[in-house]
């Protein structure tokens, strides 16, 4: 089952990273590797930097 990106948009970098990490055990191969890399990026950002990013979420 594919969730897409929208469920990870939590408005807060820590909650977003935690949501990605929580799903990593259910992912396979390349998707797991990508999620691991993605979940560490918010850790390296400040709250201000994260809030300044514009995330464009689309359906489809």
In a domain, residue 29? The reply is yes
In a domain, residue 7? The reply is no
Q: What per-residue confidence (pLDDT) applies to 32?
A: 92
Q: What per-residue confidence (pLDDT) applies to 41?
A: 86
How many folded domains does the chain comprise?
1
Q: What per-residue confidence (pLDDT) applies to 58?
A: 59
Q: What per-residue confidence (pLDDT) applies to 39?
A: 85
DSSP for 7-41, written as a single string: GG--SSHHHHHHHHHHHGGG--HHHHHHHHHHHHT
> Where in the sequence is the domain holding 40, given as residue range(s)?
22-52
Tens digits of per-residue pLDDT, 12-53?
888 888 888 888 999 998 999 988 888 888 888 888 888 887
- Confirm whether pTM is higher than 0.75: no
In a domain, residue 59? The reply is no
In a domain, residue 12? The reply is no
- What's the whole-number mean pLDDT along residues 3-9? 59
Among 16, 25, 7, 20, CA closest to 45: 16
């Amino acid at each position: 089952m594919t969730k897409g990106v929208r469920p990870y948009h939590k408005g807060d970098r820590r909650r977003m990273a935690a949501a990605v990490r929580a799903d990593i055990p259910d992912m396979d191969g390349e998707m797991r590797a990508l999620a691991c890399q993605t979940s560490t990026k918010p850790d390296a950002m400040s709250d201000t930097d994260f809030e300044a990013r514009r995330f464009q979420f689309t359906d489809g």
